[in-house]
Amino acid sequence: MDKQWRFYRPYRSPFDPCVPKRVKAYIVPPNQFMPFQPPGLRTFSPHEALRRGTLWPDLYSRYNPPHREEIDP
């Protein structure tokens, strides 16, 4: 599982007509851990950077949400 994703279980009240999902997921991308980008970071090649959407691998986030059955048994 992508380590950028975190999960928590919301409270599910017995009287709740619209019960929330069992497990909710949210992403904490790499830029949250880097207040100021240090110089000299490694970079992608131009075509790779274009495909990935960033020039810096250390700031790359795939952002593909975890699939349903995995987190909502």
Partner 1 sequence: MTHHPMPKEYYRLLYELQAVDFVLVELTLYLDTHPDDTQALHEFHQYQRRKQGLTQQFEQAFGPLHEFGNSPVGARWTWAESPWPWQV
CB of 59 to partner 1, least distance (A): 10
- Distance of alpha carbon 56 from alpha carbon 45, whole angstroms: 10
- Distance of alpha carbon 57 from alpha carbon 42, whole angstroms: 7
CB of 28 to partner 1, least distance (A): 22
- Looking from the CA of 42 toward its CB, the CA atoms found within 13 Å total 5
36 lies in the site for partner 1, by CB under 8 A: yes
42 lies in the site for partner 1, by CB under 8 A: no
What amino acid is encoded at 18 in this protein? C
34 lies in the site for partner 1, by CB under 8 A: no
Q: Which of 10, 24, 50, 72 binds partner 1 (CB under 8 A)?
A: 50
61 lies in the site for partner 1, by CB under 8 A: no
